[in-house]
Amino acid sequence: MDQVITVPIALFGPVAYYQCLLERSYLLDVKEVFVKQTYRSRFDILGPNGRLTLSVPVKKVNGSKTKTEEIEVDYSQDWRSQHLRSIRTAYASAPYFEHYMVDVINLYSVHYVKLLDFAEASFNAVKDWFDLDLDWNLSKDEIAGRSSIDFAQIKDRDVSASSYYQVFFDRFDFISGLSVMDLVMNEGPMGRNYLI
């Protein structure tokens, strides 16, 4: 049996994130102390001016010691409208925009109390979009003695990923490390071939 690896949660993580999950047994580490400015609460898309990071504002209910499972979504700003506007601008001319934007709008219409709930909803959407055999396997205890994969390792792996059609191919060379949302908007269900 494969060694179990631990990985952080991700909102619409990059393609390499899902490749890692599909390769071996894993646990999503929700007992870790939350690390800000990572794919835990943000994701990158390709807009007309290049890479654009969309961040979900969060509240650390226990300060710097807040575990990922305790992080709450902050609705004091209208980030949902901003995200949807940015996604529309980025992908309105993408081949599969009309089909998948409905799902994205539905995900954004839910008022998630915890970031973990939004991450699970995005995980399930990706699983459905690409018909992936993945489970939402959460760590139940603090994890020690298991190997882990962090976002730096995933980013390194993503640099060598094979390219696919991207909306602004006439302006930019292929940009790796983008959210899996970029893949689904551009390649639709055939994007599965880039994941497995």
Determine the pLDDT at residue 130: 97
Determine the pLDDT at residue 1: 41
- Using left for φ > 0, alpha for ψ between -120 and 50, and beta otherwise, residue 50 falls in left
Determine the pLDDT at residue 126: 97
Could you read off the pLDDT tens digit of each residue along the chain, which spans 196 residues? 457 788 899 999 998 889 888 988 888 989 988 988 888 999 999 999 999 999 999 999 888 899 999 999 999 999 999 999 999 999 999 999 999 999 999 999 999 999 999 999 999 999 999 999 999 988 876 665 445 666 666 665 554 457 899 999 899 999 988 999 999 999 999 999 988 8
Determine the pLDDT at residue 151: 60
Determine the pLDDT at residue 153: 60
Determine the pLDDT at residue 161: 59
